[in-house]
């Protein structure tokens, strides 16, 4: 098989994890894929959007989209390349919507094989209409919200569905800004767990 000649050891390990995740619905395999790439995906997105909170939100979305489509992954290129492109396309949609002042979209990142992954790529599988993109993101989050403890549900709805800033949420709930940030951070951690462990909820 040519895979051994084409890909690094880590890439081959990823392929095995993908098989375990998709064929046996192995939650540990999903968890290991997230453990391997959560930090690099987050830092790549952070360079694009330059906001910690937005980067964390977009990281959740990237893994949710990737795991939802994992059964369609083709081993023609590395998992990291595929995941980074999903993450960057999702972030580009966010940037366009928010009209953020960010780094050049011509910047590239390296995957596990040292190949450049440009972030000015187009994803033909996504609807380019901003309303449809926004609706898709809300659908992803809505799948998780009902699984969260009640005290986090309103916070997540205000953040994701109403798209309020942290300051606006604090004002709405008449709560300290630090408390809102801490609770939303915990809510995101719980959502990561849902993305990692419950593919069927995506």
- Residue 25, in any domain of the structure: yes
For residue 40, with 0-12 CB atoms within 10 Å meaning exposed, 13-18 middle and 19 or more buried, which class applies? middle
Average pLDDT in the 155-172 region? 86
- Residue 2, in any domain of the structure: no
| Total domain count, the chain | 1
- Residue 66, in any domain of the structure: yes
Report whether 79 contacts 119 (CB < 8 A): no
- Residue 146, in any domain of the structure: yes
pLDDT at position 114? 61
pLDDT at position 101? 47
Q: Which residues contact 55 (CB under 8 A, 6 or more apart)?
A: 42, 45, 46, 49
Which phi and psi (to 5°) does residue 196 adopt? -70, -40
Task: Give the alpha-carbon dihedral of 11, 103, 59, 188, to 10 degrees.
Answer: 150
Residue span of the structural domain in which 149 resides: 8-201
User: Could you tell me the pTM of the whole model?
Assistant: 0.68
Which phi and psi (to 5°) does residue 171 adopt? -65, -45
Residues 49-64 have pLDDT tens digits of 988 888 998 999 899 8
pLDDT at 153 over 60: yes
- Residue 18, in any domain of the structure: yes
Residues 94-134 have pLDDT tens digits of 888 776 544 444 555 555 666 655 554 444 444 445 555 56
pLDDT at 176 over 80: yes
pLDDT at position 135? 65
- Residue 1, in any domain of the structure: no
- Residue 128, in any domain of the structure: yes
Residues 28-52 have pLDDT tens digits of 899 999 999 999 999 999 999 988 8
- Residue 3, in any domain of the structure: no
- Which CATH number do you get for residue 197? 1.10.1740.10
């Amino acid at each position: 098989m040519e895979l051994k000649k084409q890909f690094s050891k880590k890439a081959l390990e990823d392929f095995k994890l993908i098989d375990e995740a998709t064929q046996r619905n192995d939650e540990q395999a999903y968890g290991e894929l997230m453990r391997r790439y959560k930090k690099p995906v987050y830092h790549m997105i952070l360079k694009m959007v330059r906001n910690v909170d937005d980067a964390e939100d977009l990281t959740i979305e990237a893994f949710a989209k990737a795991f939802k489509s994992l059964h369609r992954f083709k081993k023609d290129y590395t998992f990291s390349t595929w995941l980074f492109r999903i993450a960057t396309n999702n972030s580009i949609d966010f940037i366009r919507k928010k009209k953020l002042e960010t780094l050049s979209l011509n910047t590239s990142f390296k995957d596990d094989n040292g190949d450049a992954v440009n972030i000015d790529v187009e994803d033909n599988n996504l609807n380019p209409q901003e309303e449809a993109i926004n609706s898709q993101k809300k659908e992803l989050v809505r799948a998780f919200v009902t699984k969260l403890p009640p005290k986090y549900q309103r916070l997540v709805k205000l953040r994701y569905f109403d798209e309020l800033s942290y300051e606006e949420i604090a004002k709405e709930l008449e709560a300290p800004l630090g408390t809102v940030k801490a609770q939303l951070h915990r809510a995101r951690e719980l959502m990561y767990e849902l993305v990692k462990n419950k593919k069927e909820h995506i």
